[in-house]
Structures are given as C-alpha cells and as structure tokens.
Amino acid sequence: METPIIQPKKIVYSGIQPSGTLTLGNYIGALRNFNRFPEDEYQCLYCVVDMHAITVRQDPAALRKRCLELAGIYIASGLDPKKNVLYCQSHVSGHAELMWILNCFTYMGELNRMTQFKDKSAKHADNINAGLFTYPVLMAADILLFNTSVVPIGADQKQHLELARDIAQRFNGIYGDVFTVPEGRFGKVGARVMSLQEPTRKMSKSDPEDTYIALLDPPDVIRRKIKRAVTDSDAEIRFDPENKPGVSNLLSIIAALTDQTPEQAAAELQGQGYGKLKERVTDCVIATLEPLQSEHKRLMADKGYVQGILDENAEIANRMATKMLRKVQRKVGFAERGRR
Ligand code: TYM
C-alpha cells in the first residue's frame, strides 16, 4: 500500500488594527472571510496589530483595552482560538526584528508611493513619523514571518500586499527561496464597503460616526444610520457603482451578508422604494451583528479567558516566528549563535 503524502498546511495570515471601533467595512472586507479556510488544508493566524496602531498617537489605557476587545471580536466572529492562532503583534518580537531586515530591502521610492501613507500624513500633519512611513514594511514582516500563502484583506490593503510580494521576491532573488510569495484574497463582493454619507469614499473608523456602522452599534443606532444613508434622487434600485454609488453600496452590503451577488439583491427589491431597500439592509446587518455582539459581551465579562488565549497563542506564534527569523538571519550573514 502506498503511504499517503502529507502536504504541510498552507498558512493564512491577516491582522486588524486595534485603533478604534471596528466597522462593518472591517467585518465584510476582512473578518467574515477569516472563517473560510478548511482546517485540514490551512493553518490560520489572526493578529491584533497593536504595533501598527501606534503610528498614530494612542491613549495607552484605551489601546490596551481595545487589544483585548479585538481579540474578543475575533473569537465572537466564530474563530475557534484552539484552531486559529489569535495573538497580539507586540507579544512576538520577531515582527520588529524581521522588519529591520526587510527595511534594508525596501526602497524609499516604494514607500513614497503608498497611498495610505499619503492619506494618513495629510490627516495627521502634526505627526508624520517614520513609523507611518515604514508601516508597510512592518506589514510585510508580519506576513513573511510565517511563510504565509494567503492574506485575506480588503481592497484598501492591496497596495501593501503588493509591496510585501515585491520585497519577498527581491529577497529570494538574492538569497534563494527563503520566503513564500503571498497572495491576497479579496471578497467577490464587499472588498470596499463605502461610507454611508459619502459613498465614493471607503467606510473608515477615522471618519465621523454617522458615516460608518460600528460592529458593536446597538440595533437602534444601526437602524438610524442606515435610514440616513445617502442614496440618490432617481428612486431606481439598480447596481451601478459609478452612477449610483449610494444605492450600490447598500446592495453590496446585502449581497455580502446573504452570499448573493448585488444584482440578485437588486432583483429581489425590484419596483420597491429606497425605504424598503434600507429596511432590508438594516435587517441583514442586525441579523449578522446581534449574535456577534452578544457573544462579545459574554467574552468581555471574562477577560481572564481572553487574556489566557492571547498568552497561549503568543507562545505558538513565537515558536513559528523564531524558526523563520533564524533562517533569515543566517541568510543575511548575522553571527552564529553558540549552541550551549
Ligand atoms: P485595518 O485595521 O485598517 O483594517 C482591517 C481589515 O479591514 C479591511 N477594511 C475594509 N474592507 C472593506 N471595506 C472597508 N471599508 C474596509 N475598511 C477596512 C482592511 O482591508 C483590512 O483587511 N495594515 C492593515 C492591518 C495589517 C495586516 C497585516 C493585514 C497589519 N499587518 C498583515 C493583513 C496582513 C490595516 O491597517 O488594516
């Protein structure tokens, strides 16, 4: 009898910043896709990227609290912490160590082209720090540290992922096949959820409150925000992002949450008014978020449990990271470590 060949599992890696309340954009563009990798084929790591968060000034107590809350959101969204590695970036020093090495393989010109850097430095003109500039290199380090194959993210992170791929290829070109070159995985619908008030801009937690739905918004707040969402004046429910950005955004939200295409969602609402469209969006959002919210509430009443998960998983992540880091350090010629 032939012995079956056991393929090593592919690594899936993603992260979310604990830098404010999470939005429906984070959920639809990223979080809800984290569950979609069969465990016999993939090992998934999901990180609370607190080191990324301090590129913008944070209140320390609030940041610490939000790290635990985000870990709670990961679990409440259905990620089993025994099967997925859920951990905090700052608990694994390999991120910063690999970042330093990768900094030396990244060009200033590449970083200068990053749109997120341009946006954030315009928004925080009084604090254009070096961390904001080299942020994409830290993200590349996060991904490459674990030999990641797949990175589920929203469309706004595509440029950063491309840079991570370029750095990996450049490094491999010099030292041989050290890094797996990662691929982005984007949802067919909802890779860019738009602002409720300015539907040509992406929904963002750093914009005013009425432009986004927070994952922990209570049902009445969700209802009110969607009711006030900007549509248009021609009253036709049709998916046409260019000419009808507001209506198309609402249709995409329904589609993403019900696993349909936006066209199917539009067909279901044919001939009805925008009031009905908004009711449908509200129902879908509440039906999705309510179970997540009640599970999150339960978890937050037992912070010790969540902290324990982060501690255990940081050990696993550290073991995985150290293996890769040592390989990279050897490749670039760092001094041998005595084996005592
Ligand atoms: P962050 O924290 O801004 O967002 C987390 C995830 O949510 C997605 N997202 C959206 N998707 C659709 N529509 C939106 N309006 C929307 N807003 C946010 C983001 O694309 C992202 O997937 N740099 C990253 C965090 C990061 C990371 C990583 C991700 C750090 N290291 C390694 C993947 C792998 C960021 O700031 O995401």
276 is catalytic: no
The preferred substitution site among 11, 16, 144 for testing ligand 1, maximizing ligand atoms within 8 Å of CB, is 16
Catalytic residue among 9, 10, 65, 205: 205
Query: How far does residue 192's CA lie from ligand 1's centre (Å)?
Result: 10
Task: Quote the CA–CA distance of 212 and 207 in Å, as a whole number.
Answer: 8
Q: Is 101 helix (H, G, I), strand (E, B) or coil?
A: helix
Q: What is the C-alpha separation between 321 and 328, in angstroms, rounded?
A: 11
120 tagged catalytic:
yes
What is the token pair recorded at 193? 């959820």
CB atoms within 10 A of CB 243: 10
Asked if 137 and 111 count as a contact pair (C-beta separation under 8 A), the reply is yes
Nearest atom, ligand 1, residue 191 CA: 12
Amino acid at 168: A
According to the model, what pLDDT value does residue 123 have?
87
- Beta strands 42-48 and 85-88 are parallel
Give residue 3's pLDDT. 67
Q: How far is the CA of 174 from the centre of ligand 1 (A)?
A: 30
Q: How far is the CA of 335 from the centre of ligand 1 (A)?
A: 36
Residue 334 CB neighbours (<10 A): 12
Calculate the average pLDDT of the chain.
96
- Asked whether the predicted pLDDT for residue 45 surpasses 90, the reply is yes
pLDDT band at 5 (very low <50, low <70, confident <90, very high): confident
In terms of pLDDT, which residue wins out, 2 or 322? 322
Within 6 A (CB) of ligand 1 lie 13-17, 25-26, 28-30, 49, 52, 139, 142-143, 151, 153-154, 156-157, 160, 191-193, 202-203
Mean pLDDT along residues 198-202: 96
Instruction: Give the sign of the dihedral formed by CA 140, CA 130, CA 105, CA 102.
Output: negative
Question: Is 65 annotated as catalytic?
Answer: no
pLDDT band (50, 70, 90) for residue 124: confident
What are the tens digits of pLDDT across the range 304-335?
Answer: 999 999 999 999 999 999 999 999 999 999 99
Q: Is the pLDDT of residue 185 over 80?
A: yes
Q: Check whether 340 has a pLDDT greater than 70.
A: no
Tell the burial category of 159 from Cβ atoms under 10 Å away from its Cβ (0-12, 13-18, 19+). Answer: middle
Query: Mean of the pLDDT values across residues 179-201?
Result: 97
- For 282-309, write each residue's pLDDT tens digit: 999 999 999 999 999 999 999 999 999 9
Q: What is the pLDDT of residue 196?
A: 98
Q: What is the pTM of this model?
A: 0.96
Per DSSP, helices labelled H in 146-272 are: 158-175, 219-227, 245-258, 262-268
Distance from residue 17's CA to the centre of ligand 1 (Å): 7
Please list the residues that pair with 42 across neighbouring strands: 10
CB atoms within 10 A of CB 216: 17
Nearest alpha carbon, ligand 1 atom 37: 16
Are residues 51 and 96 in contact, defined by beta-carbon separation less than 8 angstroms? yes
Q: Please, which pLDDT band fits residue 1 given cuts at 50, 70 and 90?
A: low
CA of 155 to the centre of ligand 1 (A): 8
Q: How far is it, in rounded angstroms, from Cα 321 to Cα 270? A: 52
What is the pLDDT, as a whole number, of residue 338?
A: 79
Q: What's the pLDDT tens digit per position in 229-278?
A: 999 998 899 999 999 999 999 999 999 999 999 999 999 999 999 999 99
